[in-house]
Every structure is written in C-alpha cells, then in structure tokens.
C-alpha cells in the first residue's frame, strides 16, 4: 500500500513538472504593433534584422497601412473614410 502511495506521488510530481515546462501562449494580440503574428517570407532565412532592415520594414508597413490620405475616387474615399486614429 505504501509503495502505491509513493508511486502515485512520484507520478503526479513528474506530471506537474512536465506540464510546467510547456510554453505559455496565452494572451491578447492586437494590431497596434508592427510585429506581425508570423515572420514575413522575406526574412525567413534571417534570424535577426539589422537596424536598417528593421527601419525599412517599419516604413513599408506604415506606408502600406496608412489610410490617412484622400483618394481621388469617391468609392475608395467612402471605404477608407476613417484615418489611422480610428
């Protein structure tokens, strides 16, 4: 009986340690950052970006997401009616 209790304690302790080693991906992500959820394909082979590459990526991302400009046609103007603030 004592061996079963000790075996159960050891099993539960090892299970608790194994669960504690899994990474925790809980949290909230939103799009208020330039960091994408997945690494862009253009940087797939690079583990780290240089400061110049990071600045160029940030500028391209900001420019492509910037809707704070007035398009020339009315339909596009209605679709992009809110600027970056909203």
Give pLDDT tens digits for 67-78. Answer: 666 666 667 666
Burial 45-79 (b: 16+ CB within 10 A, else e): eeeeeeeeeeeebeeeeeeeeeeeeeeeeeeeeee
CA quadruple 20, 21, 26, 27: dihedral sign: positive
Q: What is the pLDDT of residues 2-31, one digit of tens each?
A: 787 887 887 777 766 666 677 777 877 777
With vertex at residue 34, the alpha carbon angle to CA 32 and CA 35, rounded to the nearest 5 degrees, is: 105
pTM for this prediction = 0.47
What does the domain layout of the chain look like in residue ranges?
Answer: 2-79
């Amino acid at each position: 009986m004592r061996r079963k209790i000790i075996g159960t304690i050891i099993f539960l302790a090892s299970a608790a340690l194994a669960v504690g080693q899994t990474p925790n991906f809980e949290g909230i992500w939103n799009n208020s950052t330039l960091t994408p959820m997945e690494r862009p394909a253009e940087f797939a082979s690079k583990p780290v970006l240089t400061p110049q590459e990071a600045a160029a990526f940030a500028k391209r991302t900001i420019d492509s997401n910037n809707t704070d400009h007035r398009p020339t046609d009315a339909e596009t103007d209605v679709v992009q009616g809110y600027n970056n603030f909203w």
